[in-house]
Structure 1
Amino acid sequence: MRLTQLRSFHAVATSGSFTAAARSLHVSQPTITTQVGQLETLYGVELFHRMGRRAVPTEMGERLLGLSRQMFDLEAEAVQLLRESGELRTGHLRVAAVGPSHVTRMLVSFNQCYPGIKVSVSTGNSQEVLARLANYSADVGVLAQVAQDSRFVSVPYSEHAVAISCSAQHRFAQRRSISIRELEGERLILREQGSTTRKAIETALQAAGVRPEVVMEIASREIIREAVLQNVGIAAVSEVEYVPGPGLRAVRLNDATVRTYAHVVCLAERQEGALVRAFIRCAQQGRPQAP
């Protein structure tokens, strides 16, 4: 059985005549007659009682009509789903990010533009984000560094200064800024290896010939914040990720350019996808001005 034969049958059964069915399908009446006749001959059944210009479904025709109605209703739903998805009125976007600081603003901007799109967000380190993009479990990623991999394309989003976070009891607490050389010998809490904030401060310290005392390496932003609050040491933190609170201070470096960045990343082969392009466009439109 061909779908065109079933479609012709359905049109006749719902319109009540071969002529009306031909008009609805924009084909000739003999074409409809031939296709319905082929269907009846193929299975040895009678689908219509021909009553002059009218065509009334037989008992078998009524049973087949019940099935064809379900099929073509589902087809209409599929067409509507695809049309709405293409117009970005429905769909599902999966975002992987290294942290909430940068991606939250992007999500707000995207939701304002496309409120009908469901968005799910997962977090992880840079390697995990790239892995999710590579295995298609995420559509776009938000990273603090450009992926040096030809499989991916990166779009700059923002840049932020790195400050020194300290407790209110620390000697830096009453200062608005300090020299990077004042970090010599200071008890320093570092992020884990691979952190872009860690890489930025280590590069600046090395360039200045400054050697602090590294007392801890911690992967969690929240634990670092608590350790600083307890005056275990000081920490470098991107200003966009700094969470102010009682007992905490953020002090800028006045003689060193230390920055972190945010990029929107996707697989090169998927950069022309409608959802991916829409997210990148919204991110760029809502991008904060560089300091």
Structure 2
Amino acid sequence: MKSLPPKDPVTALTFSRLRALNAVTETGSFSAAARRLGVSQATVSQQVRDLERALGVEFFRRSANDMLPTSLCQQLYETARQIEDGTGRIAEILRQHRTMKHGELRVGLGQPLPGMALIRAFRAKFPGVDVKIEMGSWGRIVDAVGEGRVDVGVLPEPPDQDRFRRRQIQSQSVVAIVHPGHPLAGRTAIGCADLMSERLIFRTAGSSTQKVVDEGFRRAGLAPRPSIVMDTRDGVLDAVSHDLGVGFMWSKGASRQAELAQVPCREMSRERADHVFALRTTSNPLGNAFFALEPEREESSYKGGSSV
């Protein structure tokens, strides 16, 4: 090889040349290396030849259709691979930095709290990130996380399945809610039997609240008939605020102002754990940051009797 090596060989070791060298070493041919790198075969062969000429060495010997690495190439390959891998990690760190400053996070909530408290804490840390919220029933949010429509969800007792990673953030129970003028508003505790003569406002199937309510009445051996069935939590709150009956909600599940009384029900008093959860197979920096947050504690603005 007629060219003389440079005084400083490092100047010849450009990233594109090292990347081409690694690809040919790993695939055994210029054509295969070109397919891996998404460039032309001529580009790969030119980068390798330029590196050989600049350094005055030979990295490959041709045998039939294969490019066989020389002993020198084999000695250099491990370090060259580390350089390429390190450069890739640098690029990923920079990509994550840009994402954390200007990305988008999709969150699924079954109820405002504690999810909104988590979102507030997240926005304080990442003010440039857009947050998109999908709200719905327990079943809808489980589907949203499972189908990848949202990056992370917040629900009471999401499925304990291998496909999800979960972290508990608080616990709460389901309580009855009534208009402040309702006869039950002053009670410190009630049982399901006390509710059988009341106009009951239920949620539709798929609601985590309704699952607990149904379980409580079954435990009491009772089968109530609701007077109203609502498909949203806000619908229940509005109906109760108009004194249309007795509804049910999670004890820490809302923060907006309303003069409603919470009344603990004995058969529904077991605390259920709220979790933040996401698919194990999909992970992104913003989702991981949200997953690690602790919610800022808020006192519910709903008024009610003393705890049991």
AA in 2 matched with 1:100: P
Alpha-carbon shift at residue 259 of structure 1 (Å): 3.9
Instruction: Please say if residues 173 and 268 of structure 2, whose CA atoms lie closer than 8 Å, have aligned partners that are also in contact.
Output: no
Number of the residue aligned with 2:295: 286
How has the CA–CA distance of structure 1 residues 229 and 112 changed in structure 2, closer, same or farther, with 3 Å as cutoff? Answer: closer
Residues 104-130 of structure 1, C-alpha deviations (whole Å, 9 max, x = no match): 111122223333433222223334333
Number of the residue aligned with 1:151: 163
Q: Which moved more, 1:220-229 or 1:196-205?
A: 220-229
How has the CA–CA distance of structure 1 residues 240 and 21 changed in structure 2, closer, same or farther, with 3 Å as cutoff? Answer: farther
Alpha-carbon shift at residue 263 of structure 1 (Å): 1.8
Alpha-carbon shift at residue 212 of structure 1 (Å): 3.9
Alignment of 1:1-291 (within 5 A): 82-87=92-97, 89-90=100-101, 91-147=103-159, 149-242=161-254, 243-246=256-259, 248-253=260-265, 257-271=269-283, 273-282=284-293, 285-286=294-295
Q: Distance in 1 between matches of 2:214 and 2:164?
A: 27
How has the CA–CA distance of structure 1 residues 184 and 131 changed in structure 2, closer, same or farther, with 3 Å as cutoff? Answer: closer
AA in 2 matched with 1:170: H
TM-score by length of 2: 0.60
Alpha-carbon shift at residue 260 of structure 1 (Å): 4.3
Q: What is the DSSP-based 3-state SS (H/G/I as helix, E as strand, rest coil) of the residue aligned with 2:113?
A: helix
Q: Which moved more, 1:178-187 or 1:198-207?
A: 178-187
Q: Distance in 1 between matches of 2:173 and 2:134?
A: 25
Alpha-carbon shift at residue 249 of structure 1 (Å): 1.9
Q: Which moved more, 1:85-94 or 1:165-174?
A: 85-94
AA in 1 matched with 2:185: A
Q: Distance in 2 between matches of 1:162 and 1:144?
A: 11
Q: What is the DSSP-based 3-state SS (H/G/I as helix, E as strand, rest coil) of the residue aligned with 1:185?
A: coil
Q: Distance in 1 between matches of 2:198 and 2:7?
A: 88
Alpha-carbon shift at residue 238 of structure 1 (Å): 0.9
Alpha-carbon shift at residue 198 of structure 1 (Å): 0.9
Q: Distance in 1 between matches of 2:206 and 2:270?
A: 16
Residues 211-252 of structure 1, C-alpha deviations (whole Å, 9 max, x = no match): 444211111222212221222210111122245524x32222
Q: Distance in 1 between matches of 2:173 and 2:276?
A: 19
AA in 1 matched with 2:141: V
Percent identical across equivalent pairs?
Answer: 21
Q: Which moved more, 1:112-121 or 1:229-238?
A: 112-121
How has the CA–CA distance of structure 1 residues 181 and 116 changed in structure 2, closer, same or farther, with 3 Å as cutoff? Answer: same
Instruction: Please say if residues 220 and 267 of structure 2, whose CA atoms lie closer than 8 Å, have aligned partners that are also in contact.
Output: no
Instruction: State the Cα RMSD in Å.
Output: 3.6
Instruction: Please say if residues 100 and 285 of structure 2, whose CA atoms lie closer than 8 Å, have aligned partners that are also in contact.
Output: no
For structure 2, the residue ranges without an aligned partner over 5 or more in a row are 1-5, 15-41, 47-87, 299-306
Alpha-carbon shift at residue 166 of structure 1 (Å): 0.8
Instruction: Please say if residues 95 and 139 of structure 1, whose CA atoms lie closer than 8 Å, have aligned partners that are also in contact.
Output: yes
Instruction: Please say if residues 203 and 229 of structure 2, whose CA atoms lie closer than 8 Å, have aligned partners that are also in contact.
Output: yes
Instruction: Please say if residues 217 and 267 of structure 2, whose CA atoms lie closer than 8 Å, have aligned partners that are also in contact.
Output: no
Q: Distance in 2 between matches of 1:100 and 1:200?
A: 18
Instruction: Please say if residues 164 and 251 of structure 1, whose CA atoms lie closer than 8 Å, have aligned partners that are also in contact.
Output: yes
Q: What is the DSSP-based 3-state SS (H/G/I as helix, E as strand, rest coil) of the residue aligned with 1:214?
A: coil
For structure 1, the residue ranges without an aligned partner over 5 or more in a row are 1-18, 28-37, 43-77
TM-score by length of 1: 0.63
Residues 97-154 of structure 1, C-alpha deviations (whole Å, 9 max, x = no match): 2232221111122223333433222223334333333443321122233225443232
Q: Distance in 2 between matches of 1:20 and 1:79?
A: 30
How has the CA–CA distance of structure 1 residues 20 and 219 changed in structure 2, closer, same or farther, with 3 Å as cutoff? Answer: farther
Q: Distance in 2 between matches of 1:136 and 1:263?
A: 17
Instruction: Please say if residues 95 and 120 of structure 1, whose CA atoms lie closer than 8 Å, have aligned partners that are also in contact.
Output: yes
